[in-house]
């Protein structure tokens, strides 16, 4: 079986810092899967009736794979989505789909869908300039979280504890980019700097870890130095994770869940979840489980 990883780098540029990709390549080799890594910039898309000749890599018509693993998450730009759509049109299985990735990279849209489906999530507001601070105080309150609408790995997130600081930040953002897409959220601080990452695959919970922010901070991202430990989930956590993955049509995902005073709230979903911390915390071979799931799915006869 043959697979492609769509990533921000070419295979020749991959280093040990690209953990998820290197793990998938290693496990693919052991499973006898022919796996290669390609960046969107290597592709040329020719939209025509010629089918398989419509995808060129480095200006060469390339044999198509059996499946594609997109590993760019919220950093997936328009061209990368176009590549995925082209491959899907050629009946190549992508895990996750281009449409799903496009939806999930928009944090506001995630919360709109969660709220519409009556799943608990932090109250969220899309900002527009000029900002009416009275509405922010009334609807969200302080402290609050400021987020770039497409941020990832804890970047582009700021905890603001007062209206004065908020006003200063907004003035700075407005001077930089009047059209910046920013959301603000209520701060769920019941267990500051702690959250859960629930890894869901094929409608089943595979693993769960608790993340604890470094030095008393509020960002519990493993990539930012948070400590991790395996966490035993209860029925409510499992329900929230599975319902979120189902709602967003995610085949493989990491669902982030906050501890609330009365239970839990879904913070976000990831279309290309990192799993270094998860493998460390749970001792599970997540890379192999992903590949096994994908290859089994591809091998299933079309009904």
Q: What is the pLDDT of residues 207-236, one digit of tens each?
A: 999 999 887 777 777 777 789 999 999 999
- CA 297 to chain centroid: 21
Strands of 55-57's sheet in order across:
43-45, 55-57, 60-61
- In CATH terms, 123-186 corresponds, of 3.40.718.10, 3.40.50.150, 3.30.1490.20, 3.40.50.2000, to 3.30.1490.20
pLDDT of residue 155: 67
Q: Six-digit token pair at 114?
A: 């969660």
- Whole-number Cα distances in Å, 263 to 17, 67, 158, 266: 36, 38, 24, 10
pLDDT of residue 216: 73
pLDDT of residue 221: 77
Closest CA to 209 of 273, 293, 290, 123: 273
Domain boundaries along the sequence of the chain: 2-104, 123-186, 194-270+273-297
Query: How does DSSP classify residue 241?
Result: H
Length of the chain, in residues: 303
Q: Six-digit token pair at 183?
A: 């959301």
Query: How does DSSP classify residue 293?
Result: H
pLDDT of residue 293: 97
CA distance linking residue 161 with residue 154, whole number of Å = 18
Enter the CATH code of domain 194-270+273-297: 3.30.470.20
Q: What is the pLDDT of residues 247-285, one digit of tens each?
A: 999 999 999 999 999 899 999 999 999 999 999 999 999
Share of the chain above pLDDT 70, in %: 96
Q: What is the pLDDT of residues 75-85, one digit of tens each?
A: 899 999 999 99
Other Cβ atoms less than 10 A from the Cβ of 151: the count is: 16
Architecture of the CATH domain 2-104: 3-Layer(aba) Sandwich (3.40)
Is 255 buried (19+), middle (13-18) or exposed (0-12) by CB count in 10 A? buried
Stretches where the chain sits below pLDDT 50 are: none
Q: Write down the pTM of the prediction.
A: 0.91
């Amino acid at each position: 079986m043959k697979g492609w990883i769509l990533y921000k780098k070419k295979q020749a540029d991959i280093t040990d810092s690209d953990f998820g990709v290197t793990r998938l390549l290693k496990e693919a080799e052991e499973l006898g899967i022919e796996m290669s890594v390609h960046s969107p910039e290597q592709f040329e898309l020719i939209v025509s009736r010629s089918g398989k000749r419509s995808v060129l890599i480095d200006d060469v018509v390339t044999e198509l794979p059996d499946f594609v693993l997109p590993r760019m998450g919220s950093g997936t730009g328009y061209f990368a989505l176009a590549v995925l759509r082209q491959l899907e049109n050629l009946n190549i299985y992508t895990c996750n789909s281009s449409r799903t990735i496009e939806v999930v990279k928009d944090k506001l849209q995630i919360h709109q869908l969660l709220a519409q489906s009556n799943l608990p999530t932090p109250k969220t507001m899309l900002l527009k300039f000029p900002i009416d601070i009275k509405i922010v105080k009334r609807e969200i309150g302080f402290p609050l979280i400021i987020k770039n609408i497409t941020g990832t790995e804890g970047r582009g997130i700021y905890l603001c504890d007062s209206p004065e600081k908020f006003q200063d930040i907004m003035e700075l953002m407005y001077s930089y980019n009047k059209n910046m897409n920013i959301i603000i959220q209520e701060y769920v601080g019941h267990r500051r700097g702690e959250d859960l990452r629930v890894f869901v695959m094929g409608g089943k919970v595979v693993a769960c870890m608790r993340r604890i922010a470094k030095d008393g901070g509020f960002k519990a991202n493993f990539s930012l130095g948070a400590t991790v430990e395996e966490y035993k989930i209860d029925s409510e956590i499992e329900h929230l994770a599975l319902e979120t993955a189902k709602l967003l049509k995610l085949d493989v995902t990491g669902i982030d869940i906050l501890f609330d005073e009365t239970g839990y709230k879904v913070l976000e979903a990831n279309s290309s979840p990192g799993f270094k911390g998860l493998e460390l915390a749970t001792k599970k071979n997540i890379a192999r489980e992903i590949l096994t799931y994908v290859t089994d799915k591809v091998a299933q006869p079309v009904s």
